[in-house]
Amino acid sequence: MRFRHAVVTGGAGFLGSHLCTALLDRGTAVTCVDDLSTADPENVAHLRDRPGFTAIHADVCEAFDPGGGPDGVDLLLHLASPASPADYARLPLHTLDTGSLGTRNALAVARRQGARFVLASTSEVYGDPQQHPQPETYWGNVNPVGPRSVYDEAKRFAEALTMAEAGTRGTNTGIVRLFNTYGPRMRGHDGRAVPTFIRQALAGEPLTVTGDGRQTRSLTYVDDTVAGILAMAGSELRGPVNLGNPVEISMLDLAHTILRLTGSRSPIRLVERPADDPGVRCPDITLARGKLQWEPRVPAEEGLARTIAWYRERQQRLRMGANAA
């Protein structure tokens, strides 16, 4: 399905900026809505002069009007939310408001415009799972008052609100649950494993692996996640649908892989594991394969190599800028 005009909330964030680019490349006009509380405006700097791109500085927790021109908006991708542990620990109430009020306001825009609405939810709704791999039918194991609860419960509520909107008002909605997306434009101090390890390796600092490093994650390169979201947008599925890589990697193996790919001689240092940190995380993507004909295609080593190259290029640009100043 080809869309005329898409709104991407959280569009200046890491994942949102890649979605904005992909939509423009497909001939879709894009309105990026972001309050920049956790995003870097440089993520969309390369889009500012592209025809069809508009950026709006707005907090989705307040009613917003993305415009859309005479043809209106026919797709709304709702990504707005702090997503890293460092961000939602710093902005707990804003995270909850974005999942509740922000989702309600985004749904209202989609309803008024008659647009397809896709909520970017998260594998965090499964908490520290007791079923492995995790299918969409698994209800999860979430601590509702733990340090991760503001993000987990915000997304769980957003899913419930999205389903209620579709069932009560007939709004065309879909839900995707994203598993550990990584790639260029992640902030080095994001707090998640991939950018943290790469930043530390390139700086010659110890790689801080939490616990004993045996806990696993399923890493999905950003291009694959973008393809999955757009496949969901073009479908009629309500979901939820898991989008992730069914190949697990332990945090200790990830650290060793990044050391090898960077050529760094940094040591690995084990540090205290955060409370409620999931022991395993791996999606069952049977539904995505069958209904969306989607599965990840970028192997971890290739995706990590691309990401490391981006960090190196960025460091070089920053050094050149500093020298010029």
Residue 76, helix vs strand vs coil:
strand
Can you spell out the DSSP letters for 266-280?
Answer: --EEEEPPPTT--S-
Return the pLDDT at 202: 97
Centre a 10 Å sphere on the Cβ of residue 174 and count the other Cβ atoms it contains: 22
Q: How far apart are CA 147 and CA 150, in angstroms?
A: 7
Return the pLDDT at 324: 64
* 127 occurs within a structural domain: yes
Residues of the domain holding 110:
5-182+220-246+279-297
Return the pLDDT at 197: 97
Total number of domains in the chain: 1
Those residues of the chain that have pLDDT short of 50 are none
Domain CATH number, residue 29: 3.40.50.720
User: Could you give the angle at the alpha carbon of 162 between the alpha carbons of 158 and 167, nearest 5°?
Assistant: 150
Q: How far apart are CA 264 and CA 195, in angstroms?
A: 15
* 28 occurs within a structural domain: yes
* 136 occurs within a structural domain: yes
Return the pLDDT at 319: 77
Return the pLDDT at 265: 96
- 151 is annotated as an active-site residue: yes
pTM (predicted TM-score): 0.95
Q: Which residue is catalytic, options 88, 151, 221, 311?
A: 151
* 234 occurs within a structural domain: yes
* 203 occurs within a structural domain: no
* 134 occurs within a structural domain: yes
Q: How far is CA 276 from CA 139, 146, 147, in A?
A: 17, 7, 8
Centre a 10 Å sphere on the Cβ of residue 126 and count the other Cβ atoms it contains: 29
Inter-residue contact 229 to 120 (CB < 8 Å)? yes
Report residue 50: phi and psi, to 5°: -80, 135
* 308 occurs within a structural domain: no
* 212 occurs within a structural domain: no
Return the pLDDT at 315: 86
Q: Which tokens go with 114?
A: 């008659």
Helix intervals (H) in the chain: 14-25, 85-90, 92-97, 103-113, 149-169, 193-203, 222-233, 251-262, 286-292, 300-324
